[in-house]
């Protein structure tokens, strides 16, 4: 069964490496023919995880998305959520019929504020039974250096999600699985917002003591959202690796682009300047607006999300917003 990786960033490249290490043949969609040709001839991604050597004999690299989809049974999407409408524009409604879609996307589709499975069901002929997710806690850079990591695979079909997970298992990458596609996706979206907030706090020169209180409150806020807005009843599961673990590593790690983006904001960068400087998509930036808009109809108390949203989208002074959080936390 041919697997496709759709995307050419750090996360897509890390997933390619895992499949490479297991000698699994893949179709790899990248955005430009120049990137495709570079990978074919030089065996590296020209922009991301450039230290990773790729076995191109195991892959067909193409910038023709329709061809990649038609030639593959399993489609792994590893692109920023903001690009999904553009990437899928013009594809026929039945293009995903009979395909397994595996999402490594950690954001909501902008404008419509939909999870990727919800977007596919709305715009294409697609059954949620064929939908699976890949979530952390895991940084692409640590996969590249083969540091011990864990990925969690979610989906309603237990047999199939376990089968998919095994394709990615390596001596340095352990796999877990669960059935909670909604919860793990919202948790991944929220943790990016909270990591961005942790970065803002660092940029404002808050210390480790406040950061620990901030992240504790972020975890509690995540539980509230998942329970009241995502319909997650068994919230004890939140204190496991794809929920709390991913939150912790994204808030603390220097690899975290969301934390880095937030640090720039805390130091006085505008959102626009931080976007240009980072030169990569920080999903928490878009997610803060999407979750804020979703929550307007839910009414859950989300002071951290509200504070981050007001800083990024309403130009609120970051120190003023965090003084407000101090009054809630301390």
Q: Taking 60 as the threshold, does the pLDDT of residue 273 lie above it?
A: yes
Q: Taking 90 as the threshold, does the pLDDT of residue 150 lie above it?
A: yes
pLDDT bin (cut points 50, 70, 90) of residue 100 is very high
Provide CATH code, domain 182-329: 1.10.1040.10
Radius of gyration of the chain (CA): 19
Identify whether the C-beta of residue 138 lies closer than 8 Å to the C-beta of residue 151. Answer: yes
pLDDT bin (cut points 50, 70, 90) of residue 39 is very high
Q: Taking 70 as the threshold, does the pLDDT of residue 305 lie above it?
A: yes
Q: Taking 70 as the threshold, does the pLDDT of residue 219 lie above it?
A: yes
pLDDT bin (cut points 50, 70, 90) of residue 7 is very high
What is the model's pLDDT at position 233? 63
pLDDT bin (cut points 50, 70, 90) of residue 276 is confident
Give the 3-state secondary structure of residue 202.
Answer: helix
Dihedral Cα 285, 287, 290, 294, nearest 10 deg: -140
- The chain-wide mean pLDDT, for the chain, equals 92
Output the CA angle 229-311-241, nearest 5 degrees.
Answer: 45
What is the model's pLDDT at position 110? 87
What is the model's pLDDT at position 96? 96
**pTM over cut 0.85:** yes
86 exposed, middle or buried (CB, 10 Å; 0-12, 13-18, 19+)? exposed
What is the model's pLDDT at position 245? 85
Cα dist from 176 to 189, 280, 302, whole Å: 19, 28, 29
**Structural domain boundaries in the chain:** 3-179, 182-329
Give the closest residue to 110 by CA, choosing from 291, 246, 276: 291
Find out if CATH 3.30.1330.20 is the number for domain 3-179: no
Q: Taking 90 as the threshold, does the pLDDT of residue 254 lie above it?
A: no
Give dist(CA 330, CA 322) in Å, integer.
12
pLDDT in tens, 166-218: 999 999 999 999 998 999 999 999 999 999 999 999 999 999 999 999 999 99
Q: Taking 70 as the threshold, does the pLDDT of residue 120 lie above it?
A: yes
pLDDT bin (cut points 50, 70, 90) of residue 135 is very high
Q: Taking 80 as the threshold, does the pLDDT of residue 45 lie above it?
A: yes
């Amino acid at each position: 069964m041919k697997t496709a990786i759709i995307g050419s960033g750090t996360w897509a490249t890390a997933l390619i490496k895992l499949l490479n290490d297991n000698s699994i043949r893949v179709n790899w969609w990248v955005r430009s023919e120049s990137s495709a040709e570079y990978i074919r001839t030089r065996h590296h991604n020209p922009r991301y995880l450039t230290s990773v050597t790729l076995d191109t004999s195991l892959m067909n690299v193409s910038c023709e998305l329709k061809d990649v989809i038609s030639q593959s049974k399993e489609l792994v999407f590893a692109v920023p959520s903001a690009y999904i409408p553009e990437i899928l524009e013009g594809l026929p409604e039945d293009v995903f019929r009979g395909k397994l879609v595996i999402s490594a996307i950690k954001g909501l589709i902008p404008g419509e504020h939909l999870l990727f499975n919800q977007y596919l069901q709305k715009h294409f002929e697609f059954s949620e039974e064929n939908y699976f997710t890949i979530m952390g806690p895991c940084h692409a850079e640590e996969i590249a250096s083969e540091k011990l990591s864990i990925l969690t695979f979610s989906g309603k079909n237990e047999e199939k999600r376990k089968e998919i997970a095994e394709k990615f298992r390596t001596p340095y990458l352990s796999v877990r699985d669960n059935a909670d596609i909604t919860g793990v996706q919202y948790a991944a979206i929220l943790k990016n917002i909270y990591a961005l907030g942790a970065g803002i706090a660092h940029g404002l020169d808050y210390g480790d003591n406040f950061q620990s209180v901030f992240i504790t409150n972020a975890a509690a806020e995540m539980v509230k959202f998942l329970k009241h807005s995502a319909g997650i009843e068994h919230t004890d599961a939140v204190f496991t690796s794809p929920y709390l673990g991913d939150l912790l590593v994204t808030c603390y790690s220097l690899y975290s682009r969301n934390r880095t983006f937030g640090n720039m904001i805390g130091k006085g960068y505008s959102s626009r300047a931080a976007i240009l400087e980072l030169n990569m998509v920080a999903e928490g930036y878009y997610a803060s607006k999407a979750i804020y808009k979703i929550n307007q109809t839910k009414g859950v108390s989300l002071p951290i999300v509200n504070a981050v949203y007001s800083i990024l989208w309403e130009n609120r002074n970051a120190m003023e917003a965090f003084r407000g959080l101090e009054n809630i936390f301390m």
